[in-house]
Structure 1
């Protein structure tokens, strides 16, 4: 038991020795600890040389498979303890190397053992998703985090899907019954990845989560996104909407027929019928009441013919005869007298 406890107590020392030994620079005894931090395809080299002079300076170089070592222009003879080389690397499927140079004197530089930069160093931010419901299918759109790289230096946001073709995995599950789920993994070759899921039960709430990884290497995978949820329509609600649509269509048809049937039809004029304007005038004349104009009897002129044969047959008593209350005939003189009310009053 004592031996085992002693071994466990020495384990941190063994680990530190394993890390420090490769970083000892030749016979100078200079020890530097280097580490690479990578988030969303960025690359930041950090180092610590605890026994180095405070005034010492450093230079960082990079190397891509098949190319020579090259200085990072903004990390030459610097006194800081870090260097961002994110804009240097553009092909992540080749071998990329980084090394730190320590300037002991203006003419003496010690190069620390190179550090590789590959998928084992990658870490990613979770993607963001948006979900929508189309009929009975759920559409999930996956948007990738922004990356810092020289190929996208002029863009406000350069999604990492412009630099690599990630494997994207989307899982859709029933919010109340997690056993009802379906998952799909696709090789994304577009800036935005969109996946469709069908076979969802009506009246249920479904959620989706997504993550992605570096092509082929699942070890470099992002955390899962925040869930995006949507509720499917219930069967009763769909039936009600269907019936409402049919009823509305039927109502519109009835209104159209009612308006069409109430529209008056114009009769064509026949040759036997008089023109409408003339007929209307005649109808008005026939309906107008007769107008009676008062006539003074004295305004009537009577002309009597001197017929001797008729006079011969008249007796003396019949020579004078009253024709009306206002007219009197004198046979002897052949004169007709007209009496008005005025004359009668004077007499």
Structure 2
């Protein structure tokens, strides 16, 4: 009972193993594949020790969601490598590669597919340049060229056109390694720019940079060659300040020499001008005329001296304005 119960299970397994061994021994389909990747390029290499020298091969690729497709320049080839760099464009998705061995014109055996992802990536170091403006140090990072079907063969296609790398720039004092700064930025442009401030004057600073595939720091480039620059010393700033003061003086001094004499002349002219005396009111004109009319019939003269001549009387009557103050306005006699 026990033996008969095991036979149905073990027999098919043993049969499959025997068939696999027979196929392997008869066809010699023992192939080793490897992928080399540099700057998003992809080179598939293989070795089939038991294959005949006349054996031909075909390489196919597959991107997540798409069917298997032949690599047009790697169909029925006799070489043992194929550059499939131009076959992939989206590195955020799963990409697969497989090798087909043509046993005869009507029979092709496909080797187990292998993936192509960030674990295969290696990158060349970036190139950098540094510049100093005032107290700001700017580091420009340029990425290596990539091999991809999006780029033409005649020009450089930076890898930052295909991926958005994380860029890390480290700035350090060449004489004092404890004086350093490090910044990591997410680059979405063709080149990356990183600024540093708070640098000590009169020191030699050097910058290095590297980058990595997004979200996978293990797929990172090596560091760039250092680029160094010296900051201006405090004593070196004095000539600049002195020059600024001199230029300001040259601009302000002509204005002062032009405006100051003019102001002095205006003040002297104002002092030399004759002063207009204050107007003195006329005592006669200031006296308001009498508003009450006087009737000559109401004026009575009392002569105290019998010898007053008629001419004196007439002259006194003619000078009415000068003697009007001695008369009472109602025609009363003088006191």
TM norm structure 1:
0.65
Q: What is aligned with 1:325?
A: none
Q: What does the per-residue CA deviation read over 1:284-328, in whole Å, with 9 as the maximum and x for residues that have no partner?
A: xxxxxxxxxxxxxxxxxxxxxxxxxxxxxxxxxxxxxxxxxxxxx
* Alpha-carbon distance between aligned partners in 1 of 2:141 and 2:121, rounded to the nearest angstrom: 20
Is the partner of 2:181 in helix, strand or coil? Answer: strand
Post-superposition shift, 1:67? Answer: 1.1
Q: Is the 8 A contact 1:123 1:222 kept in 2?
A: yes
* Greater mean deviation of Cα atoms: 24-33 or 150-159: 24-33
Post-superposition shift, 1:66? Answer: 1.2
* Alpha-carbon distance between aligned partners in 2 of 1:43 and 1:229, rounded to the nearest angstrom: 35
* Alpha-carbon distance between aligned partners in 2 of 1:28 and 1:69, rounded to the nearest angstrom: 24
Is the partner of 2:78 in helix, strand or coil? Answer: coil
Q: Is the 8 A contact 1:25 1:111 kept in 2?
A: no
Q: Is the 8 A contact 2:95 2:115 kept in 1?
A: yes
* Alpha-carbon distance between aligned partners in 2 of 1:27 and 1:113, rounded to the nearest angstrom: 18
Cα pair distance change 1:167/1:99, threshold 3 Å: same
- How does 1:112-191 map onto structure 2 within 5 Å? 112-153=111-152, 156-191=155-190
* Alpha-carbon distance between aligned partners in 1 of 2:181 and 2:141, rounded to the nearest angstrom: 16
* Alpha-carbon distance between aligned partners in 1 of 2:24 and 2:164, rounded to the nearest angstrom: 39
- How does 1:243-322 map onto structure 2 within 5 Å? 243-254=242-253
Q: What is aligned with 1:83?
A: 82
Q: How many residues of Structure 1 are paired with residues of Structure 2 in the alignment?
A: 241
Q: Is the 8 A contact 1:142 1:194 kept in 2?
A: yes
* Alpha-carbon distance between aligned partners in 2 of 1:161 and 1:85, rounded to the nearest angstrom: 20
TM norm structure 2:
0.68
Q: What is aligned with 2:210?
A: 211
Q: Is the 8 A contact 2:97 2:114 kept in 1?
A: yes
Is the partner of 1:91 in helix, strand or coil? Answer: coil
* Alpha-carbon distance between aligned partners in 1 of 2:76 and 2:177, rounded to the nearest angstrom: 57
Matched, 1:45 2:82: no
* Alpha-carbon distance between aligned partners in 1 of 2:56 and 2:42, rounded to the nearest angstrom: 21
Q: What is aligned with 1:200?
A: 199
Q: What is aligned with 1:70?
A: 69
* Greater mean deviation of Cα atoms: 143-152 or 250-259: 250-259
* Alpha-carbon distance between aligned partners in 1 of 2:33 and 2:100, rounded to the nearest angstrom: 11
Cα pair distance change 1:190/1:25, threshold 3 Å: farther
Post-superposition shift, 1:25? Answer: 5.9
Q: Is the 8 A contact 1:25 1:112 kept in 2?
A: no
- Unmatched segments (≥5 aa) in structure 1: 1-20, 263-347
Post-superposition shift, 1:31? Answer: 1.1
Q: What do you get for the CA RMSD once the two structures are aligned?
A: 2.2
* Greater mean deviation of Cα atoms: 154-163 or 96-105: 154-163
Q: Is the 8 A contact 1:130 1:142 kept in 2?
A: yes
Cα pair distance change 1:186/1:25, threshold 3 Å: farther
- How does 1:323-334 map onto structure 2 within 5 Å? none
Question: Which has the larger Rg?
Answer: 1
Is the partner of 1:172 in helix, strand or coil? Answer: strand
Q: What is aligned with 2:219?
A: 220
Cα pair distance change 1:107/1:131, threshold 3 Å: same
Q: What does the per-residue CA deviation read over 1:79-136, in whole Å, with 9 as the maximum and x for residues that have no partner?
A: 1111011111011011101011111111111111111100000000000011100110
- Unmatched segments (≥5 aa) in structure 2: 1-20, 262-335
